[in-house]
Amino acid sequence: MNVSVLIVSFNTQNMLRDCLASLYEACKSDPPEVIVADNDSHDGSAQMVRDEFPQATVIDTGANLGFAAAVNLAYAQSHGEFIALLNPDAEFKGETLTKAVAFMQEPEHDRVGMCGGRVFNAQGALEPSARRFSSALFKFFDQSGLSTRYASSKFFGAGDYRWFDHQHPMQVDWVPGTFIVIRRTTLEELGFFDERYFMYYEEQDLCLRASRAMWRVWFVPGADVVHIGGGASRTRKDQKFDSAGSQLRSFRMRSEWLFFRKNYGLFSVISNASVEAGWHLLRYLLHCRPGEEHASKRSESWGIVQDVQHSLAETRWGSVSPPRPW
């Protein structure tokens, strides 16, 4: 298989072991090149790979460089015609990699630069597996709960294609970095990840650059992975998480402002930050009532408003990436 699978690890030894085991089991008849970039883990992840999966290449980064920079290091040592990104907290379901690559090898898909498949959580429920490019409108739908309440609506549920049954291939804006297959010729034209993104938004940025260069991004059912979620993030006990997922809130905000400033300008940063901060200011006021539950919700919303302010200051309104590691 002319594929290089790139995995970035940061203190995820047990999940990384399961990830690699599922990968080699799924591809045992034609194993791909596997490169693990270890971001200075302290749990023995790198040595575990060397001991238990000697066929894989391990890169010791020497510091926590973040996801984008570590991927770029691994890519520089890869040889495959196709590059597959796989999170260490994800596992293949069947012939995931084979199906994704076969789709991209079809002659009519020669301008498909990237594809991803269905992402399931550990309980077997489908997670958002394809998305539209971020905007203030989609953020409002998400913050207000309209995207969940009216998930079958092509208007309110458009941000992550909630209305779509995920049973057939479809061209989309971007696919999450849990599992992506990328054509090497696409990367040779575009370059890989923007290393200013320490974590989050790097794959959306790459998909946007691909779209602007007339490459297409597709969702491919059957190329399925199970995503445990938050593998590396959960090791950061000093950080707060978004309530709806496993993303580190302050890291997500920093990368979000960097993404909007780079791709859409300052007004886009202001509008998206205003939606998030404004919604939680309103939520704070609505819970200015007695009771522990109201106090908890006030505290949560005020913390988010403060994180918006801090992340805007840290990134100078999306124009500067804070020093690594975040």
| Domain boundary pick from 234, 251, 269 | 234
CATH code, 36: 3.90.550.10
Tens of pLDDT along 72-104? Answer: 999 999 999 999 999 999 999 889 999 999 999
Residue 140 included in any domain:
no
Residues near 296 by beta carbon (within 8 Å), at least 6 away in sequence: none
pLDDT at 184: 98
Q: Are 69 and 182 members of one domain?
A: yes
Q: Are 248 and 301 members of one domain?
A: yes
Whether the bond into 322 is cis, omega within 30 of 0? no
Residue of 212, 221, 213, 198 lying closest to 95 (CA atoms): 221
Which residue range(s) make up the domain with 64?
3-130+166-234
Tens of pLDDT along 117-172? Answer: 999 998 999 998 999 999 999 999 999 999 999 999 999 999 999 999 999 999 99
Edge-first strand order for the sheet with 119-120 is: 90-93, 224-227, 119-120, 126-127
Q: Are 179 and 119 members of one domain?
A: yes
As a whole number, mean pLDDT of residues 199-210 equals 97
Q: How far apart are CA 262 and CA 36, in angstroms?
A: 29
Residues near 266 by beta carbon (within 8 Å), at least 6 away in sequence: 317, 318
Q: Are 309 and 177 members of one domain?
A: no
Tens of pLDDT along 8-52? Answer: 999 999 999 999 999 999 999 999 999 999 999 999 999 999 999
CA angle 153, 246, 91 (to 5 degrees): 90
**How many independent structural domains does the chain possess?**
2
Residue 54 buriedness (CB in 10 A; 0-12 / 13-18 / 19+): exposed
Residue 159 included in any domain:
no
- Residue 197 phi/psi, 5° resolution? -85, 110
As a whole number, mean pLDDT of residues 253-263 equals 98
Q: How far apart are CA 148 and CA 10, in angstroms?
A: 32
Side chain identity, residue 183: R
Residue 90 included in any domain:
yes
Q: How far apart are CA 171 and CA 44, in angstroms?
A: 40
pLDDT at 93: 87
Evaluate whether 208 touches 174 at the Cβ level (below 8 Å). Answer: yes
Q: Are 255 and 211 members of one domain?
A: no
Residue 257 included in any domain:
yes
CA angle 149, 172, 79 (to 5 degrees): 130
Banded pLDDT at 53 (limits 50, 70, 90): very high
Q: How far apart are CA 244 and CA 305, in angstroms?
A: 16
Residue 158 included in any domain:
no
Tens of pLDDT along 159-174? Answer: 999 999 999 999 999 9
As a whole number, mean pLDDT of residues 232-254 equals 71
Residue of 136, 132, 177, 184 lying closest to 158 (CA atoms): 132
Edge-first strand order for the sheet with 179-183 is: 57-60, 33-38, 3-9, 82-86, 179-183, 112-116, 216-219, 170-172
* pLDDT at 232 > cutoff 60: no
Chain Cα centroid distance, residue 61: 20
Share of the chain above pLDDT 90, in %: 90
pLDDT at 236: 53
Q: How far apart are CA 130 and CA 117, in angstroms?
A: 8
Q: How far apart are CA 280 and CA 267, in angstroms?
A: 20
Give me 281's structure tokens: 């200011």
* pLDDT at 183 > cutoff 70: yes
Q: Which residues pair with 59 in a beta bridge?
A: 37
* pLDDT at 71 > cutoff 90: yes
Give me 228's structure tokens: 């445990």
Q: Is the overall model pTM greater than 0.85, yes or no?
A: yes
